[in-house]
Amino acid sequence: MSWIVFYKLLAIFIAVAIGWFVGRMRWLGGETAGGSGGDPARVLSSAAFYIFVPALLFRTTARVDFASLPWLTLSAFFVPVLLMIIGVYGVQRWRGAAPANRPCPACRPSPPASATPAGGRAAGGRRVGESGLAVHITVVSLHALIILTVLTTLVELDLARAQAGTGLLQTLKLTVRNTVIHPVVLPVVAGLAWNALGLPLPAVLDEVLQMLGTAVVPLCLVLIGMSLAYYGWPSRWRGAVSLALLKLFALPTLVLLLAHWGLGLSGQPLAVIVMMAALPVGSNALIFAQRYQTREAETTAAIVISTLLFALTAPLWLALLSRVG
């Protein structure tokens, strides 16, 4: 692994360590993680969920040029991602892992684009050059749009199923309402509407949205460290390790199989989407867990474990891609 990737990963862990130290010292207040209004980690998570992530999503969807997108490459990436999300969700529902008043905890196995580790982005750009970087940016741009919308729908469906209790129609109505009027989905819908009208973003508005969007990654990294300080490590490691292994091995394997042997992709587009699929669990998964108050410690552990293991798994995937060609 190149030194630039090592330094990027080191920077990530330093940011996480700063968050852990701040949380450990209780500089932002809050003696316990469970008290109402006394958990600074939840406050930061809410700030990301209601301010920074919506700004990123609106700007992305308002600016994306759908006519020029490489749809074959995007399908090779997003089809396996969505299949894995729905598959893990179905297994968790079948096992009865979700409490009656909580969403299914499986609704967070894949990282939103805004949570893609900086080290992974650097590795992608360094490995595949400028043309491959164009594919990478395209996938990143649509990652949040597609993944966050699907995850929100699944979570709100769980909650509507638990709250409605009067039949399928009311459950669907409640799901649609809570999904659309949502700090994740609403800016996506608004951005798509703006895009459809063909209106350019005013320079000042675009600058504000860009400034807010760039805060997502550092905020999430600090949030991971604070969550470690407040929630600690999970008492059982099976769930966290399983999520890490699914993300580091199962997902890139599915992407490789579909992209290369199913759709005939090769070269830089193949390398980019496989390496993106092989990135660690994203930090926005923690924002979802905190938003719906389910398994915060397990999610934090999955992020940390998968990021540590990425230093070992990334060279393996790069070597395999060089053999595949």
- For the entire predicted model, the pTM comes to 0.77
End-to-end, the C-alpha distance of the chain in Å comes to 19
Q: Output the tens digit of pLDDT for each of the chain's 325 residues.
A: 567 777 888 888 899 999 999 988 888 876 554 444 457 888 888 888 889 989 988 998 888 888 888 889 999 999 999 999 999 888 888 876 544 444 443 333 333 333 343 334 434 444 455 556 667 777 877 776 788 788 888 888 887 777 756 566 776 777 777 767 778 788 888 988 999 899 899 999 999 999 998 998 899 889 888 988 888 887 778 888 998 999 999 999 999 999 999 999 988 889 999 999 999 988 778 888 887 888 888 888 899 899 889 988 998 999 999 998 6
| Per-position DSSP letters for 60-101, written without gaps between them | HHHH--GGG--HHHHHHHHHHHHHHHHHHHHHHHHHT-S-TT
Q: CATH classification of 3-324 is 1.20.272, yes or no? A: no
How far is 270 from 250, CA to CA, in rounded Å? Answer: 16
Alpha helices for 144-245 (secondary structure H): 149-164, 168-180, 185-196, 203-213, 216-231, 238-245
Cβ–Cβ under 8 Å, residues 172 and 108 = no
Q: Which amino acid is at 270?
A: L
How far is 12 from 311, CA to CA, in rounded Å? Answer: 12
3-state secondary structure 235-275: CCCHHHHHHHHHHHHHHHHHHHHHHHHHCCCCHHHHHHHHH
Four-residue CA torsion sign, 8, 108, 261, 309: positive
Cβ–Cβ under 8 Å, residues 231 and 296 = yes
Q: Which amino acid is at 236?
A: R
